[in-house]
Structure 1
Amino acid sequence: MSRSSFASKSYRTPAIVLRTHKLGEADRIVVLLTPSHGQVRAVAKGVRRTSSKLGATLEPFMLVDAQISTGRSLHVVTQAQIRSPYGQRLAADYRSYTAAHAMAETTERLTEEDHDAAAQYRLLHGAFAALARGDHDPSLVLDSFLLRSVATAGWTPSFSRCVRCGSPGPHAAVNVPLGGVVCADCRPAGSLSPAAETIGLLDALLTGDWPRAATAQAPARREAANIVSGYLQWHLERVVKSLEHVERA
């Protein structure tokens, strides 16, 4: 349920379906991300019946227009119309589908406390659209999204300047707890020494430099993915389970 208070008992809003799970014999609980009301947990009644018109609409990753009635513990989705059928498109490609799951789980964690939900909504909307269009490699879209989502939540990494002293790079070490590259003078024990191509890829993914990111070779992509995963886990203080199922190229 959103932590916002609502002036009326019912409201209409665009929403992205993050996750669903069964409730009773015919209902589902739907976790939605909305731009104005944050994260919303709502019951979709009767959607598991074959006669339900909402069943195919309220599936994970769908962008919908939802009519929602407020409740004390859970809201109720009374109507929903598809705006963009991302769920259907992403389900057709396994790599995109697993990447979308990791994005949705990350977003759910980051918006539990209403961390700038509007910005997270826009970011997820854009990432799902990019996956659905097949603009870039799904793994690159995922890692770019994860870096940006953590940055949007207030933990912006740096891969071009030392995170301690601010000296411009290139630098040869990355410290995950500190949030990016460190120069030789500031480098603490336990810092990583990734390839220069990996650091360049991380910077490209954070800044949206897709031509540069696309040139990265497989070893750099794998190394960058591990660093992004570590950075995400450090700030969430928990593992994003969906990342275990992401199929990398």
Structure 2
Amino acid sequence: MSRSGFASKSYRTRGIVLRTHKLGEADRIITLLTPNGIVRAVAKGVRRTSSRLGATLEPFMEVDAQLVMGRNLDIVSQAQLRHAYGQLLVADYPSYTVANAMVEIAEKLLEADGDSTMRQYRLLHGAIALLSKQAVVPGAVLDSYILRALAVAGWAPSFTDCVRCGAAGPHAALNVQLGGVVCADCRPSGSLAPHPVTIGYLQALLDGDWDTVALAGPRAREQAAGIVANYLQWHLERAVKSLRHVERI
């Protein structure tokens, strides 16, 4: 995280807790996504039963935090809860696994591209908030988040116009490596031929068109999930471990 905007050794920021690690007998290392970047800080004594910060600094919570800069890790001096998303998500296993995947993806994308931090923060916050409402199938929230996060990072897919020549769709073929649908003239060998409903579903995920998303059947959701996962891995050039635990329903 760039700290050029902080005038003193102590600073305040809002953030989403991405993950935590135990440190010693009573402390935790907290990884926060803030509007200015990723912060790793020590929360002292939070594993003690008397700690008021323990329940606040849990994964997926959005907090207002007061931190003190340290040489290697910052120190959390105060934290106030903004949104208790974590309490809702841990109670539902499909939502919990999706949230884990989203925060891992957010961290990996920001490692590759730190210029879009504020937009990635807002996108992750919106996705976690939607997930906590349980109004949309968790897998659909995840796939929508992945496509939109990749678009913010500069890898926007196209599910309407040919990604090679720009010819208007609809098109029957899709090429993951090229980044979307391709026309008959531009179609390389090895391209996929998903069902037309699947291509429309992918566009709805990218647009956040939840009414259309809700109409999709299991076949379209399954096809789209595979395409989205392959597209993510192609650009990250590595697997996202948390995706293996996501339940698709």
TM-score for the superposition, normalised by structure 2: 0.96
**Which residue does 2:76 correspond to in 1?**
77
**Which residue does 2:85 correspond to in 1?**
86
**Which residue does 2:13 correspond to in 1?**
13
| Percent identical | 66
> In the aligned structure 1, how far is the partner of 2:139 from the partner of 2:20?
24
> In the aligned structure 1, how far is the partner of 2:9 from the partner of 2:172?
56
Q: Unmatched 5+ residue regions in structure 1?
A: none
One-letter amino acid of the counterpart of residue 228, structure 2: V
**Which residue does 2:118 correspond to in 1?**
118
> In the aligned structure 2, how far is the partner of 1:135 from the partner of 1:120?
22
Q: Secondary structure at the match of 2:59?
A: coil
Answer yes or no: is the 8 Å Cα contact 1:3–1:114 preserved in 2. Answer: no
**Alpha-carbon RMSD:** 1.0
TM-score for the superposition, normalised by structure 1: 0.96
The Cα of 1:46 is off from its aligned counterpart by: 1.2
Runs of 4+ residues over 4 Å off in structure 1: none
**Which residue does 1:34 correspond to in 2?**
34
Is residue 129 of structure 2 the alignment partner of residue 129 of structure 1? yes
The Cα of 1:4 is off from its aligned counterpart by: 3.7
Is residue 244 of structure 2 the alignment partner of residue 205 of structure 1? no
Answer yes or no: is the 8 Å Cα contact 1:194–1:223 preserved in 2. Answer: yes
Q: Secondary structure at the match of 2:7?
A: coil
One-letter amino acid of the counterpart of residue 164, structure 2: R
**Which residue does 2:97 correspond to in 1?**
98
The Cα of 1:115 is off from its aligned counterpart by: 3.7
One-letter amino acid of the counterpart of residue 224, structure 2: A
* Farther-moved stretch of structure 1 (4-13 vs 72-81): 4-13
> In the aligned structure 1, how far is the partner of 2:114 from the partner of 2:72?
17
Alignment of 1:121-200 (within 5 A): 121-200=121-200
**Which residue does 2:43 correspond to in 1?**
44
Answer yes or no: is the 8 Å Cα contact 1:62–1:84 preserved in 2. Answer: yes
Deviation digits for residues 49-90 of structure 1, max 9, x if unmatched? 111111111000000010011112111111101110000011
Deviation digits for residues 190-239 of structure 1, max 9, x if unmatched? 21111111111101100111111111110110110010001111111111
One-letter amino acid of the counterpart of residue 133, structure 1: K
Task: Give the aligned length.
Answer: 247
Q: Unmatched 5+ residue regions in structure 2?
A: none
